[in-house]
Structure 1
Amino acid sequence: MWKSVSQVLADQFGAYYSIKNKVKVHTGEMHEAWLIDDGIQPVFVKVNEKNYRSMFMAEADQLTLLSKAGCLKMPLVYGVGCSHSHSFLLLEALKFSPLTTLTAAELGIQLAKQHLLADTEHYGLDFNTWLGPVHQPNEWKNNWSKFFSEQRIGWQLQICKEKNIYFGDIDNIIQTSANILAKHNPKPSLLHGNLWVENCATTDNHAVTYDPACYWGDRECDIAFTELFQPFPAEFYQNYHRTFPLDENYPQRKKLYQLYYLLNFSHRFRGNYLQLTTKYIQQMLS
């Protein structure tokens, strides 16, 4: 595999990349991760089985999409490749530290500016993505209520059902979700889609984000996820609101948007997420 990695990097950098050091680093839920270098240029490598290439391609395309938007800072993509048995994603190696008050404030402005971008009147994306290891459909829709209730809430409920996790009548929950959003027609914003503290950091005194799950949708979805578990520093929300104030009815939709992530976590991790998800759904249906 490492010979294939060297070849992709040689194509990227214009000179042969001879790997001199390889260090396995902390891995997430799915992939192995390595930090390599040729004595000059460090590279972060995500590795998995060969059939994960499409997932790596989607991640690379999303990072490139967000970088081209010119608002959020993302790791540079060096390439995607395969060996006989593995696929890999090659990224800029950045030194991460937790968000600070200053970088959180910066991130609030960056995110608001990204959400202000207008490039489509529809909801979705040209390709499907993943939220963690879970496929995320992004078929274009003209109606936000239909998009979110079916491709977000309905999709996750169906996956839960396939894993023998039940939260009630799926059709009823989908319809209730659609009713909540029936009169809400937000301007589509380019979403990070997976924005929580685990996917944000400080590098060189600037905010950086990674591991996106992009699509064009209601910007409130990004904000809702930031508030679900460990909220960002207050300066993040203050600067976001100064740059692009939230609608006064956002609190009425926040828990529905958070429900998408709770459903996803419920069938991935179970545990306390099942109880919290049940509580959210019961409140929504009452």
Structure 2
Amino acid sequence: MLGTAVESLTPVGGGSICAAHRAVLGDGRTVFVKTRDGAPPGFFRTEAHGLERLAGARGGVPVPEVLAYDDRCLILEWVATGVPSAAAAERLGRALAATHRAGGDVFGCAGGDGWIGSLDLPGGPWTSWPDLWAYGRLEPYLRAARRSGAVDKRTVADVEKVIAELPRLAGPAEPVALVHGDLWAGNVLWTDRGAVLVDPAAHGGHRETDLAMLTLFGLPHLDRVLAAYDEAWPLAAGWRERAALHQLHPVLVHAVLFGGSYGAQAGQLARQALRAG
């Protein structure tokens, strides 16, 4: 696909779904190769298109260049990682605001469905963010978690209340934001030039979603990221209290994938979201 031979291939750390390798090519380039046995058609194309969409945001957070992809693999430029710093975190906050400002035409993805981890991610589009969150993010994963036994009856009832009351819980209306969609710390690579984002589930969404996910799983110098973001594009009043609403979807995803305590955490977040509203 790259018009040159692979001289060496070395496994590197990555997620639990795909295999990751560092490849040295015959022309001297070092690249990142991501593969998945039995990947569904379009799996890597969707990720590649998401990276390209994020790359098009003027002043936004950098992403690796997409070099090639097919149904078997995705090949990206190699990103040499470094140590996070407060200055890089502030740059990340400002650049993330620019990424979000790039916006979009619809809530969801006009191009069709995608994936979050190994799970299908409904693409929509939807006419509003509350509809996207209720019927494209919460309801499908609540249904799957219920089937698997990952959530109890109280959690089901509380998440269903959140779904029913989402227009009230969502806060002030926001324009469509171009969001990463799976922005936990593992998808933020720190380099000598600053932060680089990988593994997106990019779509037109709500900018508070990316910030809430960073808060959910933590990030070095997170306070600096959030302060710089709010300075670049001030957030609506009450955004911290609404974080539980935005964190509910990724925790439901984890409940479906991993079970354990994530089901109980989903119930706690649902109740926090209802109280905040």
Same-fold status (TM-score > 0.5): yes
User: CA shift at 1:143, angstroms?
Assistant: 2.0
2:200 corresponds to 1:212: yes
Distance 2:213 2:206 in 1: 12
Match of 1:13 in 2: none
Question: Normalised by the size of structure 2, how large is the TM-score?
Answer: 0.89
Task: Work out which of the residue numbers 103, 108, 118 in structure 2 matches 1:124.
Answer: 108
Kept after mapping to 1: 8 A contact 2:244/2:272? no
How many aligned positions are there?
267
Distance 2:188 2:101 in 1: 20
User: CA shift at 1:279, angstroms?
Assistant: 1.6
User: CA shift at 1:268, angstroms?
Assistant: 1.4
Give matches, 1:1-286, under 5 Å: 8-10=1-3, 17-39=4-26, 40-70=28-58, 71-82=60-71, 87-120=72-105, 122-126=106-110, 127-166=112-151, 167-169=155-157, 171-181=160-170, 184-233=172-221, 234-285=223-274
Distance 1:205 1:175 in 2: 44
Percent of pairs with identical residues: 25
Question: Normalised by the size of structure 1, how large is the TM-score?
Answer: 0.86
Which residue type is aligned with residue 123 of structure 1?
F
Change (3 A) 1:128 1:232: farther
Root-mean-square deviation over aligned CA pairs:
1.9
Kept after mapping to 2: 8 A contact 1:109/1:239? yes
Query: Max radius of gyration: which structure?
Result: 1
Bigger drift between 192-201 and 231-240 goes to 231-240
Change (3 A) 1:50 1:279: closer
Gaps of 5+ in 2: none
Kept after mapping to 2: 8 A contact 1:56/1:80? yes
* SS in structure 2 at match of 1:216: strand
* SS in structure 2 at match of 1:65: helix
Match of 1:4 in 2: none
Gaps of 5+ in 1: 1-7, 11-16
Change (3 A) 1:93 1:245: same
Which residue type is aligned with residue 70 of structure 2?
G
Distance 2:85 2:259 in 1: 31
* SS in structure 2 at match of 1:238: helix
Distance 1:94 1:43 in 2: 8
User: CA shift at 1:21, angstroms?
Assistant: 1.0
Distance 2:75 2:41 in 1: 12
Bigger drift between 100-109 and 171-180 goes to 171-180
